């Protein structure tokens, strides 16, 4: 099996595995949670996106990893992670929290879409071995990031039900 096919298979199966996990374990929990708590949990996951800077760290990835992919991916992830952290730091200022939730999700999904575009342009599956230690990022971590962005937008755009509280 070629490295291109293995990479593409890993990527697709990463999405399948995370979608199954979301459906069985995460989504039922999200449905029982307050919208604020769900978005705080999603922001917590995305706050680790500073890790994407590893794509520009010499010795971790091969210098042959296309720079057109590596640099944009690194800085897009970093910016998204910072916005997610800022959202978490502003939980007591709800209007600012919600603004930052929208901002990190918009930037994050744009980053991932542009990363996919750059990956296609650079024929990244043919360079899969150049990822070195970061190989798991695009095939395991990126799928859960994209899936949680989609979930966040779905939850932001759906009408919120008013739950009557009994005191």
- pTM exceeds 0.85 for this model: yes
CB 139 within 8 A of CB 7: yes
Residue 139 domain flag:
no
User: What is the three-class DSSP state of 56?
Assistant: helix
Q: Does residue 28 surpass a pLDDT of 70?
A: yes
Residue 114 domain flag:
yes
Q: Does residue 167 surpass a pLDDT of 70?
A: no
Cα distances (angstroms) measured from residue 59 to each of 62, 69, 76, 125, 131: 7, 17, 21, 20, 10
Confidence of residue 160 (pLDDT cuts 50, 70, 90): low
Residue 117 domain flag:
yes
Residue 17 domain flag:
yes
Q: Are residues 12 and 87 in the same domain?
A: no
Q: What is the mean pLDDT of residues 57-66?
A: 87
Q: Which two tokens stand for residue 8?
A: 């593409």
Residue 26 domain flag:
yes
How many structural domains compose the chain? 2
Residue 116 domain flag:
yes
Write the DSSP symbol of residue 54.
G
Q: What is the pLDDT of residues 125-153, one digit of tens each?
A: 888 888 888 889 999 999 999 999 999 99
Q: Are residues 43 and 113 in the same domain?
A: yes
Q: Print the domain residue range for 54.
A: 34-129
Cα distances (angstroms) measured from residue 44 to each of 10, 22, 66, 117, 128: 25, 16, 30, 26, 28
Q: Does residue 6 surpass a pLDDT of 70?
A: yes
Residues in CB range of 85: below 8 A, 6 or more apart? 43, 47
Write the DSSP symbol of residue 123.
T
Q: Are residues 39 and 116 in the same domain?
A: yes
Confidence of residue 163 (pLDDT cuts 50, 70, 90): very low
Q: Are residues 20 and 94 in the same domain?
A: no
Q: According to the model, what pLDDT value does residue 53 have?
A: 95
Q: Are residues 110 and 57 in the same domain?
A: yes
Q: What is the pLDDT of residues 68-91, one digit of tens each?
A: 889 999 999 999 999 999 999 999
CB 55 within 8 A of CB 61: yes
Confidence of residue 104 (pLDDT cuts 50, 70, 90): very high
Residue 148 domain flag:
no
Q: Are residues 1 and 69 in the same domain?
A: no
Q: How far apart are the first and last CA of the chain?
A: 62
Q: According to the model, what pLDDT value does residue 166 have?
A: 47
Residue 137 domain flag:
no
Q: Are residues 20 and 54 in the same domain?
A: no
Q: Are residues 71 and 12 in the same domain?
A: no
């Amino acid at each position: 099996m070629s490295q291109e096919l293995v990479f593409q298979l890993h990527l697709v199966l990463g999405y399948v595995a995370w979608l199954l996990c979301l459906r069985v374990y995460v989504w039922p929990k999200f449905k029982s949670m307050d919208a604020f708590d769900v978005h705080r949990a999603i922001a917590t996951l995305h706050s680790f996106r500073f890790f994407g800077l590893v794509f520009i760290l010499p010795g971790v990835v091969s210098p042959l990893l296309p720079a057109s992919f590596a640099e944009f991916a690194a800085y897009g992830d970093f910016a998204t992670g910072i916005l997610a952290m800022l959202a978490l730091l502003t939980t007591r200022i709800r209007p600012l929290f919600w603004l930052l939730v929208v901002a990190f999700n918009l930037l994050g999904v744009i980053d991932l879409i542009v990363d996919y575009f750059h990956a296609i342009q650079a024929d990244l599956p043919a360079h899969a071995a150049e990822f070195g230690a970061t190989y798991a990022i695009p095939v395991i971590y990126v799928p859960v990031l994209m899936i949680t962005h989609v979930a966040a937008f779905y939850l932001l755009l759906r009408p919120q039900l008013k739950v009557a509280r009994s005191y």
